[in-house]
Amino acid sequence: MRIDELYVLNPWWREPKSIYTDRYIVAFQHSVFKHYPEKLFLSIQKDKPGIYTIRGPRQIGKTTFLKMYIKNLLESGVKPTNLIFLTCDGIKDRFELGDMLTIYLQTYGSKSNQLNYILVDEVTVIKDWQLTMKYLADLGMFDKSVVILTGSSAYDLKHSSEKLPGRKGQGKDLVYMPITFNEYLENIGIRVEKLSLSDILSLTEDEINKLRLEYGFIKEHFFRYLSTGGFPRVIGEFLEKGTVQESINIYKDFVLGDAEKYIGSRTKVLEILRKLPEIVGQRFSWNSLVDIFSG
């Protein structure tokens, strides 16, 4: 990535209102199903330095979250150049990542008590990224910054962030999970009375039948929820098109792409997936699966 590309990734440095035309913001505003991850926003203390990691599955909305976070900061009066967004898809290695962050902080690092906000998307794409973050943290370059790192590799992000002990400040490790069924219902305007287990067990047969009658329509929504996995983008596609084929194709490409990246073969993973239905619910040997990879 070239230095001048930072201005392309961060157009609000030139024109703060450009955040409103960001494709992720526009897509969110036009989405049939909008989920605002309020708990995630509240988990980040924007007035205290810290290093946060956000891990979650692909297409859950991590990039959209970062863009919405930038929008909120700009609307709250944060100086545009105090914000930087980086996507690691275009960064060669951890050394280039370190150079980009160093140049930014040397150029726009706050000289007052104001904080800088450093948002790095898909950091797990870069091998040994934690070494760069540790190095910069040890130099004190993040002492006046809120750093947010996202990644789709849960194992990498969790275990790599553990190598930053004592350097996160007020930061923490966060998880961006698919929405719950209750959140799904609330989003489409359906409120369901909440009952504890003891309340349910104390209901009479007539009361149970009454609930079945009142909430019978919920079953249809539950099957829709199961079909979409609680992923806002997938839910939006289903509500708009009645199918999730586009999302299925996207995830298929992700899985096969990772297979090629980590084991060097898409074919072997497809063979595993074809074999799984045959062994579900049966005893099997891990060696039988290994044979597929070594065959």
pLDDT digits over 220-230, tens only? 899 989 989 89
Domain boundaries, the chain: 5-175, 181-241
Tell me the three state secondary structure of residue 228. Answer: helix
Comparing CA positions, the residue from 33, 53, 179 lying closest to residue 119 is 53
- The 3-state DSSP class for residue 93 equals coil
Model confidence pLDDT, tens digit, residues 80-104 = 999 999 998 889 999 999 999 999 9
Residue 109 has which token pair? 């690092």
- How confident is the model over 196-219, as pLDDT tens digits? 889 888 989 898 888 888 888 888
H helices within 60-204, ranges in order? 62-75, 94-108, 129-138, 154-161, 181-187, 197-201
Cα→Cα distances 177→24, 40, 223, 285, Å: 19, 10, 19, 32
pLDDT at position 281 is 75
Residue pLDDT, tens place only, 22-66: 999 999 999 999 999 999 999 999 999 999 999 888 889 999 999
pTM for the full model? 0.83
Q: Which range among 76-85, 102-111, 269-278 shows the weakest confidence by mean pLDDT?
A: 269-278
| CA distance linking residue 166 with residue 164, whole number of Å | 6
User: Which residue did the predictor score with more confidence, 163 or 179?
Assistant: 179
CA 16, 17, 18, 20 torsion: positive or negative?
A: positive
Calculated CA dihedral for residues 163, 166, 168, 174, nearest 10 degrees: 60
% of the chain exceeding 90 in pLDDT: 45
Unique residue bearing structure tokens 């996202």? 150
Per CATH, the homologous superfamily of domain 5-175 is P-loop containing nucleotide triphosphate hydrolases (3.40.50.300)
Token pair, residue 147, equals: 């750093």
pLDDT score, position 272: 77
